[in-house]
Structure 1
């Protein structure tokens, strides 16, 4: 095999060949083109994402209210971590945080389970039927959040809502009486139940279609071999489907957590007021403090937003850690 030799130096002596790794490193140092190409995108991301986050953190450390927006008024003054100390010592905030976590867990859990079951079911049906049902489900997923919330609010209205009328027609020994005038939107349990229904109705089609697409990528020979070995459908799912679609399930789970933590439009439409603090979630609390309070407390609203952002970043960091461990980022 021929040996690579560098050209002779000026004094006639031959230089040893430079290792390939060293040559590649030298090329990377002398060619900044990739970094120049991604620089505009990084700059746009910094302006669109990082600057608002920096502003939010800055506002959370001040006593910024609507009074500071009036003419001839001083700007917001620095108050350090006063808002965070107030939140940590406020029992109402911890109740809202607990409600947010519990409702988010219910929404994410039901959505993931129902979406996965529907995806598995569609995988067993003919292609034309699966395509027809998928289109119908995606119409529900694409419905604007405000429209879906209004429909569910009409369904559960006292006296004339379809759900109340239907429950009132059932025998009293089965569901009790007084359903016709029952208001679902006053108590936390009933309001959160309707909220979970709205979110699951809109969210599970995306999970189902994603799982269905993932199932199409799994070779059918694996299921045939499992069937020949006498494996049940449950064992085939845990030994074939779930391991093969683990990255997909992890991504869908993280996305669903992020989306459900930020639920606002549906709760705002169903609750229809800020009078009952027992039905607040973090996103609702941010809006109430930052825009609905008198005066609007932008500093406190920003502090609550920082808490929710930290929660979302923690979920995202955990997902990236799992993916790196599994080698999915290579």
Structure 2
């Protein structure tokens, strides 16, 4: 025999009670649309956008607006007189790009830039990987000392590092010439490393690699620590050698990080400017021009600001593919994680 239930009156000042359902007592009724609670949630949803708005405005001021001005200037004939008088320069369309792309010197500079970038990236990534592998086999104390030295080298300003390498290779009192002259049958006294173009670029590449290799080494070492030791031990028990273990076990694990540091190195080494500018002074010789130096010389040495900006935009377009590839790798890595 069922016992009838009595409806409970609402408590004073409380929420109206909903009759019990078949699965137990029901909770309080949901708030109606447009209640103060929903208004607070709506404001909370806009709060993150309001917090990042100052940063977005700063980025637009220091990046997007100069990029817009560069784009406009590349379609004009902007000269020094326009800089001083404020007159509107003539609109010439794609004439600046045509002049640049039909110039044989531009293609020679572009090829030189690509070759220099490939050499620097190969030395940076290869050397960083070797250092990272060696750090795995070091004792804790030695590894900490090596890490401290790498971070110190990476934190050194480019101006300081370039000045040091310029002093090391000085023709009169450079320590490199002094040490090489002590070898039997070798006389490097008074040798100018920048008389030969390939020797000068070797010095510049040394500065670039020395400054970039710490980041690659520390990053790849962090990736190597994530390789499961059980997989390496299992591969060795199956008879795999050190090279086979690295190729089939270690490298697939660190490949995403390896790809990222390689892509970043390509972008950084393609834009090398300050090292060459400081090594060769304010007037860089044509044989030492890379795309960044070439754009600077056109704009500020030849007073052809529009052609200089056209070269800068072409460089941006060349790097756009690399940047897109880098972003895709970042997104893929995020999806895997």
1:290 lines up with 2:299 in the alignment: yes
Confirm or deny: 8 A CA contact 2:168 2:175 kept in the other structure.
Answer: yes
Query: 2:171 pairs with 145, 151, 158, which one?
Result: 158
1:11 alignment counterpart: none
Q: How high is the TM-score relative to the length of structure 1?
A: 0.82
Query: 1:258 pairs with 267, 275, 300, which one?
Result: 267
- Larger Cα Rg: Structure 1 or Structure 2? 2
- Structure showing greater relative contact order (alpha-carbon pairs closer than 8 Å, 6 or more residues apart): 1
Query: 1:64 pairs with 66, 72, 78, which one?
Result: 78
1:300 lines up with 2:311 in the alignment: no
Instruction: Measure, in 1, the Cα distance between the counterparts of 2:58 and 2:169.
Output: 44
Which digits, 9 at most, give the CA deviation of each residue in 1:131-190, with x for residues without a partner? 111111111111110111111111111132111122222222xx5x4x212211233211
1:119 lines up with 2:103 in the alignment: no
Confirm or deny: 8 A CA contact 2:121 2:262 kept in the other structure.
Answer: yes
Query: 2:324 pairs with 314, 317, 330, which one?
Result: 317
Residues 34-113 of structure 1: pairs in structure 2 closer than 5 A: 34=45, 37-38=48-49, 40=53, 41-71=55-85, 74-113=87-126
Query: 1:208 pairs with 190, 210, 217, which one?
Result: 217
Residues 239-250 of structure 1: pairs in structure 2 closer than 5 A: 239-250=248-259
* Secondary structure of 1:328's aligned partner: helix
Q: How high is the TM-score relative to the length of structure 2?
A: 0.81
* Secondary structure of 1:306's aligned partner: helix
2:141 alignment counterpart: 128
Q: Which runs of 5+ in 1 are unaligned?
A: 1-26
Instruction: Measure, in 2, the Cα distance between the counterparts of 1:98 and 1:118.
Output: 30
> How many corresponding residue pairs?
293
Which digits, 9 at most, give the CA deviation of each residue in 1:220-259, with x for residues without a partner? 1111111211211111111122111111111111111111
1:232 lines up with 2:241 in the alignment: yes
Confirm or deny: 8 A CA contact 2:109 2:291 kept in the other structure.
Answer: yes
Offset, 1:33: 6.2
Instruction: Measure, in 2, the Cα distance between the counterparts of 1:276 and 1:44.
Output: 36
Instruction: Measure, in 2, the Cα distance between the counterparts of 1:239 and 1:32.
Output: 52
Offset, 1:208: 0.7
* RMSD, aligned α-carbons: 2.1
Distance 1:31 1:202, change over 3 A: same
| Stretch of structure 1 that moved more, 281-290 or 271-280 | 271-280
